[in-house]
Amino acid sequence: MSDIISNILQYPFIIRALIVGIFVSFCAALLGVSLVLKRYSMIGDGLSHVGFSALSIAVAMNWAPVVISIPVIILTAVLLLHFSEKNKISGDAAIALISTSSLALGVIAVSITSGINIDVFNYMFGSILAINQSDLTLSIVISTVVLILFIISYNKIFAITFDENFAHAIGINVKFYKMLLAILTGIMIVVGMKIMGALLMSSLIIFPTLSSTRICKQFKSVAINSAIISIVSFIIGLVFSYFFSTPTGATIVVVDLLIFIFYSLVGILKQRI
């Protein structure tokens, strides 16, 4: 065991990937609790597609990827939230529309300019090799901000997730907190995309909560469990992908899936007893 650990930790790029990944999975899981329970999972998915096209267009144009994509994703978050508020059914469709169209635009922009180069490929499927020092700094700073905001507003986030109308009636600024959640999610997605890849990033948000709700009965335990599941599956996925040369993002998703199946079985067993 210690052999494996020392083997892995001798490479700086792995250490960077580990740190970024742990921070990102932790925060994504926390944000996911509210999104999934509010039936807003589609927003996470939409945001990651839009994030991808923003990043790939930026790469194609030789612009700074993060500087471009963060404002774009914030704007999209506001837009998607607006759609899903208006009408649940057509809202879902509108989100799918935005996410696929933006993906299409991104792919076209890329193919016209540089073709699918290695950077774009990395954003699509994720790569631990691509994590550099500035990604590390960015992810630590942003994760810390997300974490602090989440802890400060935790109880209000609960109230809004549980019963938005009541929260509004007793004077909580529902709009503000929902916007905050959507924007933080968008930013988290941009930060995590390099490791997880755009196509898989939303699983980091959705899976942990989905698994936790199989067995947890309190909001708090769902939140804590999700954070733990998220970090554990990231580490297992990363280590596995390192030794067996599988794509990191995809491996993590598979680990998440296995955990989900395990939790579901435990949940079913618990009900039987």
Partner 1 sequence: MTLIECENLTLSYGNNVVVKDFSLKLCSGDYLCILGENGSGKSTLLQGLLGLKKPARGNISFVGLKQNEIGYLPQKTSIQKDFPASVYEIVLSGCLGSMGVLSFYGKKQKNIALNNMDLLGIGDLKKKSFKELSGGQQQRVLLARALCATKKMLILDEPCAGLDPIVAKNLYQIIKKINNDKNITIVMVSHDIGSAISHANMILHMQNKPIFFKTPKEYCESLIGKRFLGGV
Whole-number Å distance between alpha carbons of 164 and 175 = 10
165 binds partner 1 (CB under 8 A): yes
What is the spatial distance between Cα 255 and Cα 229, in angstroms, rounded to a whole number?
10
7 is a site residue for partner 1 (CB under 8 A): no
Give dist(CA 267, CA 270) in Å, integer: 5
Measured from the CB atom, the residue of 136 and 156 that comes closer to partner 1 is: 156
Q: Which is nearer to partner 1, 161 or 241 (CB)?
A: 161
User: In the complex, what is the shortest distance from the CB of residue 93 to partner 1, in angstroms, rounded to a whole number?
Assistant: 21
CB atoms within 10 A of CB 236: 17
Residue 1 in contact with partner 1, rule: CB under 8 A: no
* Helix ranges (DSSP H) in the chain: 2-9, 12-37, 41-61, 65-86, 88-113, 118-125, 133-162, 164-169, 174-196, 198-215, 219-244, 248-272
Interaction between residue 171 and partner 1 (CB under 8 A): yes
Task: Return the range that interacts with partner 1 (CB under 8 A); candidates 8-16, 98-106, 112-120, 162-170.
Answer: 162-170
Q: Rule CB under 8 A: say whether 270 interacts with partner 1.
A: no
Listed ranges 18-26, 168-176, 195-203, 232-240: which one lies at the site for partner 1 (CB under 8 A) = 168-176
210 to 229: interface string for partner 1, x by CB under 8 A: --xx--xxxxxxx-------
| Cβ nearer to partner 1, comparing 177 with 242 | 177
On whether the CB atoms of residues 14 and 128 are closer than 8 A, the answer is yes
Token digits of residue 254: 């598979």
For the segment 79-138, give every residue that binds partner 1 (CB under 8 A).
none
Q: What's the CA angle centered on 98, arms 176 and 196, to 5 degrees?
A: 80
Helix axes 2-9, 219-244, angle to 10 degrees: 80
Total residues in contact with partner 1, by rule CB under 8 A: 30
Binding site for partner 1 (CB under 8 A): 37, 39, 152-156, 158-159, 161-172, 212-213, 216-222
